[in-house]
Amino acid sequence: MASSDVVTLQDTTFDKEVLKSDVPVLVDFWAVWCGPCKAIAPAVEDIARRYKGKLKVGKMDVDEHQQVPQNFGIRSIPTLLIFKGGQVVGTVIGADKGKLEEAVKKVTG
């Protein structure tokens, strides 16, 4: 599913990969069966490529890893959260490429 530019996140790696990251992190909460998740995936991959070095991009399968999505109140997917300094600084719910691009630009300058 994920390319070499996208980190596959797990409950056990979330803290190190996201909350303690030196750069902002875009996290795509998704599931295999989710149509809108598949629709936004190419945009997420594109952002990972274009912002490499300025933004880390990760995907978390909510069926395989449930603790972190519960902790952040993920109720619908796709939900994309942007973290900076361990805090959520941006949220995009649904497959809205325009809103996603806008949110990423806000944190990367």
pLDDT tens string 59-105: 999 999 999 999 999 999 999 999 999 999 999 999 999 999 999 99
Specify whether 62 is catalytic: no
Average of per-residue pLDDT across 3-25: 95
Q: Tell me: cis bond preceding 78? Omega within 30 of 0 counts.
A: yes
- The active-site residue out of 34, 44, 48, 104 is 34
Nearest to 85 by CA among 19, 28, 26: 19
Residue 28 falls inside a structural domain:
yes
Residue 92 falls inside a structural domain:
yes
Residue 50 falls inside a structural domain:
yes
- The active-site residue out of 9, 18, 25, 37 is 37
Specify whether 37 is catalytic: yes
DSSP letter at 22 equals S
Global pTM value: 0.95
83 Cα distance to chain centroid: 9
Residue 1 falls inside a structural domain:
no
pLDDT at 23 over 70: yes
Q: What is the pLDDT of residue 2?
A: 57
| Domain housing 63 | 6-108
